[in-house]
Structure 1
Amino acid sequence: MLKNTFIKIFVVEIEQLTAIFYSHSNPEKRLKMENYMKNNFPFLGIQTPVRSKLQKPFLQRFKSEKKINWDWVQSLWDLKEREFQYSALDYLITKKKHLTPADLNQLKYLIITKSWWDSVDLIASHLIGFIVRNYPEVKQDVLQWSASENIWLKRTGIICQLKFKQETDTLFLSQAITKNLNSNEFFINKAIGWALREYSKCNPHWVSEFIENHPLSSLSKKEAGKYL
């Protein structure tokens, strides 16, 4: 009985959030947002400040929970409009201190479904990065992603240390990049340059040597050398 009551409350909350988002749709902004994302996803036209305000009461309900509510994440992820995926990621970012290696497969699913740079980059830098930093035993699993056939898993393996600064594992970074040196994929070469550029802010010597000793694409070199 209690389980059925919980399910009913959960469904009602999803329906409430959906209704609130739909009631704040903006056709003019919707078109601009869809165009910006190359029309890969339908949008409601709700920009980040408005979305944050609308979803705040719902996120607060999860504040005391000590684990990730993957049912909530999946329910939002399955909805059509892109703002619902953003809301799912906002929730995960607020709860990221509760992420563990056990959550890696669920995050991998989010990376390879409804994939584009907007969602993947958040997952990689905020969520996968958190797990890699706090649970070093998963490094080899994530490093293997950089050799995947899926470009978004590759990109995640390359950029997951974006926020590590001096704590960057240079062996991990080097291996993730060298697995992709022959790539012609824009999102991979851009990621290589981005990862190197971020690390150059605290270790320009290492990055300069890496650029000199590896056959990077022109795009990767351009991105990597912006602060050198």
Structure 2
Amino acid sequence: MKFKDELIKELKANSNRETAIPMENYMKNNFPFLGIKTENRRAIFKAVYEKHKPEIKLNYREISWQLYQEKEREIHQCAIDLIQKEIKKKFVIEDIQFIEKLIIKNSWWDSVDTIAKYLVGGYLEQFTAETLKVIERFSDAENMWLNRTAIIFQLGYKEKTNFDLLKAECEKHKHSKEFFIQKAIGWALRDYSRFNPNGVKLYVESTNLKPLSLKEALRLL
């Protein structure tokens, strides 16, 4: 049995409808859930992964994408776990197209935030010369989740954050009425305030952010 088929079989064998209902409600019923808690899901994934390493190493991008076509959210989460595990520091230049497909399919904050930080962030750490081109394209897109990604992709960069780029993204989207954009602006600024509190404070004081963005940005200051 192939990795994908065995993983789905094991996940479905551990489904729990009673647990699934509150999970679905929490995610605004955007996706059906199997009702598998994170710790258990990861244990199942690890056990099946260990049995199929050669297959995975040869074709992890395609396997991840196949898993992402399934309906259940835990399977989507396994797809992201797989690509994140395998592709780290091994990106190729064309991977941004694959990553973009992951962002815009099955979009919700739980998937997009992981993809933004670890896949887009990791890709642009490896291909720094692509940063402005990629982020401008995402930022200008009509897709709100690509816009959110452009704002938060530097969450793992810490003191290496390009603050000028972050401020430019905040300025560009600060009038947005979208909850997830307002939240992203505040989150990105709050995260960077751990490394440059004065810079964030000065920026926040000199611009006109939405109340939600402002509240989130100043949470640590």
Normalised by the length of structure 1, the TM-score is: 0.91
List aligned pairs for 1:21-60, cutoff 5 A.
21-60=11-50
Task: Summarize deviations over 1:136-183 as a string: whole Å, max 9, x none.
Answer: 112113321122211100000000001111100112111221110210
Pick closer, same or farther for the CA change 1:63–1:93 going to 2, 3 Å: farther
Q: Which amino acid aligns with 1:36?
A: Y
**Cα drift, residue 205 of structure 1:** 0.7
1:119–1:19: structure 2 CA closer, same or farther, 3 Å change rule? same
What does residue 171 of structure 1 align with? 164
**Correspondence 1:142-157 to 2 at 5 A:** 142-144=134-136, 145-157=138-150
Q: Give the structure 2 partner of residue 195 of structure 1.
A: 188
CA contact (8 A) 2:61 2:83 kept: no
Structure 2's unaligned 5+ residue stretches are none
Q: Which region of structure 1 is more displaced relative to structure 2, 18-27 or 174-183?
A: 174-183
**4+ residue stretches of structure 1 with deviation over 3 A?**
60-68
Query: Does the aligned pair in 1 maintain the 2:24–2:33 contact within 8 Å?
Result: yes
Identify the residue that residue 104 of structure 1 maps to in structure 2. 96
CA gap 1:115/1:215 in 2 versus in 1, 3 angstroms = same
Counterpart secondary structure, 1:179: helix
For normalisation by structure 2, the TM-score amounts to: 0.93
- 1:73 matched to 2:73? The reply is no
Provide the alpha-carbon RMSD of the alignment. Answer: 1.7
Partner of 2:132: 140
1:68/1:98 contact within 8 Å kept: no
TM-superposed deviation, 1:65: 6.8
1:19 corresponds to which residue? Answer: 9
Supply the AA of the counterpart residue of 2:18: E
SS at match of 2:200: helix
Equivalent residue number for residue 106 of structure 2: 114
* Structure 2 CA distance for aligned equivalents of residues 101 and 225 of structure 1: 36
1:131 corresponds to: 123
CA distance in 2: counterparts of 1:59 and 1:13, whole angstroms: 7
- Please say if residues 60 and 82 of structure 2, whose CA atoms lie closer than 8 Å, have aligned partners that are also in contact: no
How many Å apart are 1:111 and its aligned residue? 0.4
Corresponding pairs, count: 218
Q: CA contact under 8 A between 1:125 and 1:159: conserved in structure 2?
A: yes
* Distance in 2 of aligned mates of 1:15 and 1:63: 15
Identity %: 40
In structure 2, distance between residues paired with 1:64 and 1:76:
15
1:66 deviates by 6.4
1:114 maps to a residue whose letter is N
